[in-house]
Structure 1
Amino acid sequence: MALRALGRQLRNLNLGPAVQTTSRFFGASAHHDDEHEEEEHGPAETPTVFDKLVNLTVVDMNGIRHKVRGLAGQSLSQALIEYGFPETYFFPNMGFYTQHIVDAHVFVPKEYWAKMPNIDPDGEEGGAVKRMFRDIVQDYQRDTSYFASYITLGPEFDGMTVGIGPIKPWCLHTSWAFTGVHDSKVRQFDKPTVEIWG
């Protein structure tokens, strides 16, 4: 009984002025029919992780192709590490402030060179790049050689094919050097890279 009485009370209420007040407050556009509202606003489109995916083809040192997915804003070296390439493909970046960054030598197709960041050869980063070519890449350097940590993935790189370039054992200290094998993360990073000697 109580519900019926409440229903009668609600039906008897005069809601006319309240509707008018609401219309004046929000403006005439506050009232929409459902069809018009869907067309104008539609469902909310929140970006998902799939919208940020960058698809790459990476050719390893044995010539095997791998489909690698990275995220926009991530460096190419991070994407390669997360994919699971062997530790022997990586080395520490030789910049004074970037020794903690893992890097890799890669071959980038010439059609993507216009999208690569320019590095001042006389700046600190330029010096690090020169040291990495001299001490790590050595005579494996090619016209298309680049370093993966300097490539920030974005939509412009979607569909790019890169090759992982070979590297040579490097010396991190005059009294301590690799002997042809560089597959231990501990050995790669337990000496400061600023002590590299030519």
Structure 2
Amino acid sequence: MAVVNLRRLASQISRNPSLSHSFRATIARSSASSVTSSTPTSSAKVSDRIVNLFAIDPDGHKRGVIGLSGQTLLKALTNHGLIDPASHRLEEIDACSAECEVHIAQEWLEKLPPPTYDEQYVLKRNSRARVLNKHSRLGCQVVLTPELQGMVVAVPEPKPWDIP
């Protein structure tokens, strides 16, 4: 319905010579793009973006987790109740308190981009021994991709100051 109205508006505008050429071109482009965006394409399917993961919870139980390509690991884990969403409100490294720390199995670490200096700093700052565990990553900094299908991550126990 909206596409039909937009086409009708575009045809009325194109017949009006008092409107500028650039304005008419803008309306024509927007009506053409709305027609193409309203038709489904195979790349727009959500099912193409699904990334299935496995998470080991603090009790040692293996749980299936579904995330989307382009989404952070933190978002996928909070959606499944494995990390408290209130403990990590921002997905920016500057505001990070390492509450989204996860441990990633070795074979999957090699498929991830290396941690940034900032990520390493936050992990070291918040570790008990001030030594970086080579399997530790921040869930807010790991972006899911189709190559991570089947990845295994462990969610550690909350730190003592996080337990109510």
Fold match, TM over 0.5?
A: yes
Change in 2 beyond 3 A, CA 1:59/1:131 = same
Could you tell me which residue of structure 2 aligns to residue 106 of structure 1?
Answer: 102
Paired amino acid for 2:48 = D
Change in 2 beyond 3 A, CA 1:104/1:44 = closer
CA distance in 1 between counterparts of 2:68 and 2:59 reads: 25
Mapping of residues 1-198 of structure 1, within 5 Å: 45-87=42-84, 90-91=87-88, 95-96=93-94, 99=95, 103-121=99-117, 125-126=118-119, 129-135=120-126, 137-139=127-129, 142-169=133-160, 180-183=161-164
Question: Once the 2 structures are TM-superposed, how far is the Cα of residue 100 of structure 1 from its aligned partner?
Answer: 7.2
Paired amino acid for 1:166 = E
CA distance in 2 between counterparts of 1:168 and 1:89 reads: 15
Deviations along 1:8-32, one digit per CA (max 9) or x if unpaired, are xxxxxxxxxxxxxxxxxxxxxxxxx
CA distance in 2 between counterparts of 1:107 and 1:149 reads: 13
CA distance in 1 between counterparts of 2:135 and 2:82 reads: 21
Change in 2 beyond 3 A, CA 1:50/1:143 = same
Change in 2 beyond 3 A, CA 1:151/1:103 = farther
Paired amino acid for 1:65 = K
Q: Which has the larger radius of gyration?
A: 1
Note if contact 1:89-1:167 (Cα within 8 Å) is conserved in structure 2.
Answer: no
Note if contact 1:54-1:155 (Cα within 8 Å) is conserved in structure 2.
Answer: yes
Question: Once the 2 structures are TM-superposed, how far is the Cα of residue 89 of structure 1 from its aligned partner?
Answer: 9.8
Select the structure with the greater relative contact order (CA < 8 A; seq sep ≥ 6): 2
**How much is the aligned-residue C-alpha RMSD, in angstroms?**
3.2
May I ask how many residue pairs the two structures share in their alignment?
A: 123
Note if contact 1:107-1:145 (Cα within 8 Å) is conserved in structure 2.
Answer: yes
Change in 2 beyond 3 A, CA 1:70/1:91 = same
Change in 2 beyond 3 A, CA 1:57/1:89 = farther
SS at match of 1:118: coil
SS at match of 1:130: helix
Note if contact 2:98-2:123 (Cα within 8 Å) is conserved in structure 1.
Answer: no
SS at match of 1:50: helix
Paired amino acid for 1:104 = C
Question: Once the 2 structures are TM-superposed, how far is the Cα of residue 131 of structure 1 from its aligned partner?
Answer: 3.3
